[in-house]
Chain A
Amino acid sequence: MTDAARPRLRRFLPVGVLVLLALLPLGFEQYKLYVASLTLVYLVMAIGLNLTLGYAGQISLAHGAFMAFGSYGVAILGQRGWPVEVGLAVGAIVAFACGILVGFPALKVKHHFLAMVTLGFNIMVFLVLRNWESLTGGSFGISGIARPRWGLFSFGSDRAYYVYMVGWATLVVGSAYWILTSRWGRAFRAIRENEMRAEALGVSLRNYKLMAFAIGAAYAGIGGALFAPLLGYIDPGAYTLDRSIQFLMMVVMGGLGRFAGPFLGAILVTVLPEVLRASEGLYLVIYALAVILMMLFMPKGLVGIWDWAAGRRDAGAQPPVPAPPGRLRTG
C-alpha cells in the first residue's frame, strides 16, 4: 500500500465499518432491533451533548428538555397532519432557539452553576409539558404517533423505520464531523482548554458558547424527533432530569471531547443493562458500580481504553478530531 493511500483508507475504513455495523441489526429479532433503534436515538443525543460539553466545555443538564422539543414537535404536528420531517425540523429549530436562550447564562456562570441553571430549565420544560394539557396532552402524553411515509412508501415497519433512523444518524454524524473539523470546532476546543487565552486571541466567547449550546440542543431535538415515532407514544416522564443525567453519563463514559465517545457511550448505556438483565435484582447495583469504577480508573472514558490498547502511552499525541488529510496545507 502506498503512503498516499493509507490516510484515505484510515479515513474511510471507520465509515465502512460503521455502515456495516449500523445495518447489522436488520437481522435481529424484534426486541434486539428495538434496542438497536434506541441506541441510534442515544447516539444522536450524545453527539449533541458531546459537542456542547466535550468540545466546548459547557455543561448542560437540559438535553432531556431539548429532546422533548423534537418529540413533541413530531407528535403535535403529526396530530395536525404534518409529516414527521416537518415536526423534526420544527423541533430542532425550537431546540436550537432554546439552546441559545439557555446558553446566555453560560456567558456569566460556569461549571456547577451552569449545571444548576440548565437543570432548572429542564424542570421548567417538564412542568410545562405536564401542565399544558391542551397542547401536550399533560401527563397522559400523546399516543398514536405515526411513522414517516414517503408517498406510497411507508417506514411503518420496525425494520424500515430503523433504516430511516440510520439515515438521520448518518446525517447527524456527518454534520457534526463537518462542524468539528471547521474553525468552529477549533474555537470550541480552545474555549474548553483556556477561555481567557481564547478570548485574548479574538475568539468571541459569546458567539461560540451560544452556538455550542444551540447546535447541541438542535441535535438533541433531532434525537427526540426520532424517538417519538419509534415508541409511537410519548409522555413528559421521558424528558425528566433523569434523562439529562443519563445523557451526561453516556458522553462521560464514552469519552468527552472525542469523536468516538458518543458511539461507545450510547452502546454502553443501552447494551450494558441488557447484558446485566440476567442478574435480575442486582442489575442497578452492578451498573452503578461499573460507572463509579470507570470514572475512578478510566476518567477518559471508553475511548481511553482504545488509546491504551493502541499503545499510545502519550494519550495526547493525537488531536481529538484529526484534521482531514490534505485539508491543512502544511508547507
Chain B
Amino acid sequence: MALLEVRDLTKHFFRLPALSAVSLSVEHGDLLGVIGPNGSGKTTLFNCVTGVLSPSAGQVRFKGENITGLSADLVHRRGIARTFQLIQLFPEMSVLENMLLAAQEREGTLLGRLFRREDGGAADRAMELLEYLGIAGLRDTFASNLSYGQQKLLDFGMALMSRPEVILLDEPLAGVNPTMIKSLVGHIQALNAEGHTFVVIEHNMEVVMSLCRRIVVLSQGERIAEGTPAEVADNPLVLDAYFGR
C-alpha cells in the first residue's frame, strides 16, 4: 500500500481545468520530484492534497484512509506537512514560537493544550532542529526580521517539527543563494536517508535531477510523464512541454 496515493485528482476553477485526472503515488522513504512549466498545476496539486483547496473530483488516500476534501488542519494532523511557494510564517512571533506552534497541534486535545503546560520536549526538539539548520542563534528574533534565506530555513524547519510522515516542499530553493541551496539540498538528502519522505516541487532542473529518485512531470494540469530523472529528461513529451515544438 502506498503511503500517499493520489487518484484522478481534478480541480476546476470555474470552468478552467487546473488539474485533470492526475494520479501519483508516494511510497515510504520516497524523494519524489514534481516538475512542469509555470501554470502546469503543481501548486494546485499540493493545495488539493493538503486541504487548502478542495478537489473537484478524484481521491487522495493517505495510509489507506480517504482524506479527500478534509480541511488543512485535519490533513496536517494525519501527518502531511508542507511548505509554501511564497513563504508563510508568523511574522510577529519569534523563531522559536514559530517552531513550537508547528508542533503543538499534531497530538493531544484542545483542552489539553490549555491545561497542560509541559511541552513534551517540543522546545528541545525545536532547538535541535534550529541548530541543525544553523539558525539557533535567532531563536528570539521575530520571523519578520529574518533574511529571505533564513525564512526559507525556518519554513523548512516548521514543516519538520511535527514529525510528519510526508513533507511536501513547494519550491524550497526558489530565490535562495547557491551556498544555501547546497546546504538545503544536503538537509533534504540527509533527512531522506533517515527515512523522511519528501515530495518536492522545484524549478531548478539541475537540483531536481540530482536530488530526486523519481520525477512526475505535469503540463497544463495533466501528468505527461513519470520516471527516473534520466527517463524524464529523454522524454520528448517533456521537452515539448518545456520548449514547445
Check if B88 sits within 8 Å of A197, measured CB to CB: yes
B82 within 8 A of partner (CB) = yes
Residue among B73, B91, B162 with max Cβ neighbours from chain A (10 Å): B73
**Distance A317 CA – B91 CA, assembled complex (angstroms):** 11
Q: Is the CB of A182 within 8 A of B139?
A: no
A side interface size, CB within 8 A: 32
**CB < 8 Å neighbour of A331 from B84, B128, B145:** B128
The answer to whether B114 touches A194 (Cβ under 8 A) is: no
B-side contacts of A207, CB under 8 Å: 110
- CA distance in complex: A320, B52 (Å): 29
Q: Is A190 part of the contact surface with B, judged by Cβ < 8 Å? A: yes
Is B139 in contact with A330, judged by CB distance below 8 angstroms? yes
**Complex contact A193–B105 (CB within 8 A):** no
Kindly state the separation between the CA atoms of A290 and B117 in the bound complex, as whole angstroms. Answer: 42
Q: In the complex, which residues 125-159 of chain B have their Cβ closer than 8 Å to any Cβ of chain A?
A: 127-128, 139-142, 144-145, 158
A204, B88: Cβ atoms closer than 8 Å = no
Task: Among B84, B113, B141, point to the contact of A197 (Cβ < 8 A).
Answer: B84
A10: interface (CB < 8 Å): no
Give B67-102 as 1s and 0s: 1 = Cβ < 8 Å from A's Cβ atoms.
000011100110001101000111111101100111
A314 touches B124 (CB 8 A): no
Q: Are A329 and B76 in contact (CB under 8 A)?
A: no
Give the residue name and chain of the A residue nearest to B113 (CB): A183
Docked-complex contact B101 and A186, CB < 8 angstroms: yes
> Given A193-B90, A331-B124, is A319 in contact with B97 using a C-beta cutoff of 8 Å?
yes
**Which residues on B are within 8 Å of A, measured CB to CB?**
50, 52, 71-73, 76-77, 81-82, 84, 88-94, 96-97, 100-102, 104-106, 110, 113-115, 117, 119, 121, 123-124, 127-128, 139-142, 144-145, 158, 162
Closest 6 pairs between A and B when the two form their complex, measured CB to CB: A202-B105, A197-B88, A193-B90, A183-B113, A202-B76, A316-B142
